[in-house]
Amino acid sequence: MTERIPLVIDTDPGIDDALAVLLALASPEVDLRLVTTVHGNVELEQVTENALRVLHLAGRSDVPVAVGARASLIHPQPERAGHVHGAAGLGGVELPPSPAGVDPRPAVTALAELLTASPTPVTVAAIGPLTNIALLLAVHPEAAARIGRLVVMGGSAGRGGNVTAAAEFNIWSDPEAAQAVFGAGLPTVMVGLDVTLPTVLTTDGIDRFAAAGPVGRTAAAILQQYVDHAKDVYGTPGVVVHDALALTEAIAPGTLGTVRRDVVVDTTLGAGRGQTLVDRRSVSASATAVEVAETVDPASAVEFLVQRLCLLDGARA
């Protein structure tokens, strides 16, 4: 087998974040070296506790968790997503506490040290607001330049927003940070609503990993709040696990069809705030262009997720 890709997940768990972390732990292609937490779906203390507990659920409390930004860079964004993810972020499921505490280093320091020390390029999957990555760029630009791939769940090229008419939640939560990151010239893949919304995990798939064993059963319990929310709000029989699709692209590069595009984030304070303005008129040759995910095979992406989650309980799907 080829060498495992060192991986960092920057996250705000979050139901789909929890699934994404579990997917990474189930995937032999990657070696999860660090989890960094960021404000987002719920408050920072809670997402950090959730990250520790999700790792413990999978028997991986050895993976360090470093605490990141408590708030967005410039304009306070107090609105959270507890109505989607549950007040404590994991769909009302209380996971057993982890024996591990948090890493003593701030997230950007832990990330910079890992990037600098790694002999092989590190993939960073950013599945929350981009505040930590923007801070890394500002404080440790030489370490940020060593990122092998930055896979971002966020934005939308042509599907509008999910939190406002214009904006997707992660970008809307810190548009200034997102603009700094998308404009930095890092090897970035934007996994936005264009590819996540069509990728629906149905209750059939959830039932398969729920039957595999205790970890799958707990993952299914965490998802139940998402299932109920999707049924109530959208009338759909399945869930969109945005962050897990971004992790799939991080684990298996090329899963999604991408095109190099110029992307600008709307940082005005009007109705368009947080919109990702993706120039789809042409393929960009600019050094700061972003690989925008535009196509997905939803059935195979969902199958990949279900099979991998079954593996956490040692079962073959």
Residues that bind ligand BDR (CB under 6 A): 14, 16-17, 41, 81, 84, 127, 153, 162, 168-170, 242-243
Q: Which of 5, 9, 17, 239 binds Ca ion (CB under 5 A)?
A: 17
The least distance separating Ca ion from the CB of residue 130, rounded to whole angstroms, comes to 11
- Binders of Ca ion in range 238-257 (CB under 5 A): 243
User: Could you say which of ligand BDR, Ca ion, none residue 80 binds, taking C-beta under 5 to 8 angstroms by partner kind?
Assistant: none
User: Could you say which of Ca ion, ligand BDR, none residue 174 binds, taking C-beta under 5 to 8 angstroms by partner kind?
Assistant: none
Residue with tokens 């264009």: 194
Residue 86 contacts Ca ion per CB under 5 A: no
Q: Which of 8, 9, 10, 14 binds Ca ion (CB under 5 A)?
A: 14
Query: What Rg value do the Cα atoms of the chain yield, rounded?
Result: 18
Residue 43 contacts Ca ion per CB under 5 A: no
Catalytic residues, by residue number, are 242
User: Could you say which of ligand BDR, Ca ion, none residue 294 binds, taking C-beta under 5 to 8 angstroms by partner kind?
Assistant: none
The least distance separating ligand BDR from the CB of residue 199, rounded to whole angstroms, comes to 12
14 vs 112 by CB, closer to ligand BDR: 14
Q: Which of 127, 134, 193, 309 binds Ca ion (CB under 5 A)?
A: 127
Which residue of this chain has its Cβ atom nearest to ligand BDR in the complex? 169
Q: What are the φ and ψ backbone dihedral angles of 187, each rounded to 5 degrees?
A: -75, 85
Short-list 146, 138, 149, 141, CA closest to 187: 149
The least distance separating ligand BDR from the CB of residue 236, rounded to whole angstroms, comes to 15
Q: Which of 68, 89, 128, 154 binds Ca ion (CB under 5 A)?
A: 128
The least distance separating ligand BDR from the CB of residue 253, rounded to whole angstroms, comes to 20
The least distance separating ligand BDR from the CB of residue 178, rounded to whole angstroms, comes to 12
Catalog residues that contact Ca ion under the rule CB under 5 A.
Answer: 12, 14, 17, 127-128, 243
